[in-house]
Amino acid sequence: MRRVRVKDDALEQRIFLRRALIAGIAAAVLLLLLAGRAWWLQVLRHEHFSELSQENRARVEPLPANRGLLRDRAGRVIADNSPAYQLELVREQAGDLQATLARLEEFRLLDGDEIERIRQLLRSRRAFEAVPIRMQLSEDEIARYAVHRHELPGVALETRMARRYPHGPIGAHALGYVGAIGEEDLPRVDQARYFGNGVIGKLGVERSWENELLGQGGFREVLVNAAGRRVEARDGDALPLRGRAPVSGNDLVLTLDIELQRIAEEALAGRRGAVVAIEPDTGDVVVLASLPSFDPNGFARGLSRREYLELTGNPDLPLFNRALRGTYPPGSTVKPLMALAGLEYGVITPEESVWCPGRYSLPNSRHQFRDWRREGHGHVDMHSAVMQSCDVYFYRLAHTLGIQRVHDAMRRMGFGEPTGIDIGGERSGIMPSPEWKKKTFSQPEQQTWFPGETVIVGIGQGYWTATPLQLAHATALLALRGRHFRPRLVRAVVDPATGTTRDIPPQPLPQVQLQDPRHWEVIVDAMVAVTTGPRGTAVRAARGAAYTIAGKTGTAQVFSVAQSERYDESQVAERLRDHALFVAFAPAEAPRLAVAVVVENGGHGSSVAAPVARAIFDAWLAPKVD
């Protein structure tokens, strides 16, 4: 029987040794690879991964820049910043954003109507950015946040500087206000500059000069734990925490005088209307008032929906800037300008007498255009026609001139186009003409210009509308006998860091040249007679003044009265009564201020609007008594 070897010990030994060697080599290679990788990570890439680690353990917190201050012409602060608590939310730390916002509403820290706006705002910002969602919390709201803080991931209470308007509603339409950034603001928001800043200028100077006022936001890194809460740095931290200091926005020096603004608004209190006062030789707007007004501090802290609806639903329209956007028939305030046009075109002389029986009819027409004085003024020349505000004289003059020449002359005086003031929102008003009517109306039968429409344009009625700013600007042009400047509200920009002041020089506009410069004095003398003459319509308002006022009263119809009817103010609803207007400059011989006053549904310019202007002139021109 043959023997068979079952086990070969030597072969198995060789196989084992070969496998052990291969395994050892493989292990050694892996160890070398791990060591090399560790050396590459720990030595060669140490700085890079240390920075990444720093970013994981550090949170970037914004440092919004202080908004530039607003000062009036005397250096008084009219808009500044004060410390306030606000809620900020970091989207990447909030977890379930919808649930966090719902809890904020539940804890009465957010208004439910604001949720959608805030959600859109958060989505428009970077996920790591702290976005302000509620400004200027009350003590009660701060306490509620403290109680529920653990239920609000990603929400922090921070101390920031908030906008404050120490004079409240005084000058609100000129200054404007800041408010929370909304969806409509996003196209003009640079994320780098607005980092951590949740407000933006919404109106007036605050909006139009946003770029100067905003400044440059900064940031700081703070250490946080795994839960995202801030912790103190320990010795041996690998990298210093980074940061960049914010740069405050520039301060603005305005042309407004806040005390004169207060006097104007107090004189107009309880009524709807506007007042604009301009320094003729610079174009500086000293007063720009629109009443009723509003408190811009409410927008700075964030209005509730109820508060906002109260403002927007108010029939008196407190948010509407009547000084820039209100368009009114200028009424008889334009009669001096109409007289000037008649002189320039040579269709009438100052001495020419016109008979005023209290009514006027076009040739071959039975329609009567009535004078405000039913019995008429008798024989009037240009001087007495302006002084007494004779309608018939200017009906006849407008018809003689024709609408095209009226239009061309008034466009030279600035009507029918914006003045170009340095804040937005200004309307152009309407200076009508046949061409304008063709462009405005779509029906052929409505596009024809009728002679009767020219007649009523002669007394500032019909299609002609103007803003109070335009009226003040035209009055300033008269005051300087054709020289005028673009109206402005900002006269200088100040860098708060260096104290450097950048003056903004007045911007002269092309001078209105007359064929005969003596015509200016003819018109100014007639306007002086309005306040000093025996039958001047504003004599009572100017009585006792220590200076001479050149002015013109005006009354603008809100609705037409039939030929057979007589206007009775006592029988007309308040909002359908005539508007009261007054324009003036003083002192007449050396003008320092031009003023336009419009009082909606006020009735008579002489008794309602002129006293407002008188209060302004007294405060600005009367000698101070110690």
Q: Are 542 and 531 in contact (CB under 8 A)?
A: yes
Q: What is the DSSP letter of 420?
A: -
Burial of 207 (0-12, 13-18, 19+ CB in 10 A): buried
Contacts of 23 (CB under 8 A, 6+ apart): none
Count Cβ atoms below 10 Å from residue 383 Cβ, excluding itself.
18
CA pseudo-torsion sign 336, 340, 342, 348: positive
Q: What is the DSSP letter of 328?
A: B
For residues 301 and 370, give the distance between their C-alpha atoms in angstroms, rounded to a whole number.
54
- The torsion angles phi and psi of 57, rounded to 5 degrees, stand at -100, -5
Q: Which residue has the tokens 């530039």?
A: 68
Q: Are 470 and 419 in contact (CB under 8 A)?
A: yes
Sort strands 251-254 and 70-71 into parallel, antiparallel or unpaired. parallel
Count Cβ atoms below 10 Å from residue 104 Cβ, excluding itself.
25
Nearest to 256 by CA among 581, 84, 487, 554: 487
Helix pair 518-532, 335-344: axis angle to 10 deg:
150
Nearest to 231 by CA among 243, 222, 244, 241: 222
For residues 474 and 276, give the distance between their C-alpha atoms in angstroms, rounded to a whole number.
12
Q: Are 542 and 614 in contact (CB under 8 A)?
A: yes
HSE-up of residue 156 (Cα within 13 Å, Cβ side): 19
For residues 143 and 149, give the distance between their C-alpha atoms in angstroms, rounded to a whole number.
10
Annotated active-site residue 560? The verdict is no
Could you tell me the two tokens for 53? 């680690």
Please provide the DSSP assignment of 578-592 as one string: PEEEEEEEESTTS--
Q: Determine which one of 332, 384, 389, 433 is catalytic.
A: 332
For residues 403 and 311, give the distance between their C-alpha atoms in angstroms, rounded to a whole number.
41
Q: What is the DSSP letter of 8?
A: -
Please provide the DSSP assignment of 530-554 as one string: HHHSTT-TTHHHHTT-SS--EEEEE
- The torsion angles phi and psi of 492, rounded to 5 degrees, stand at -160, 150
Q: Are 41 and 53 in contact (CB under 8 A)?
A: no
Say whether the peptide bond before residue 336 is cis (omega within 30 degrees of 0).
no
For residues 501 and 504, give the distance between their C-alpha atoms in angstroms, rounded to a whole number.
10
Identify any residues that bridge with 179 across adjacent strands, giving them in sequence order. Answer: 200
Active site (catalytic) residues: 332
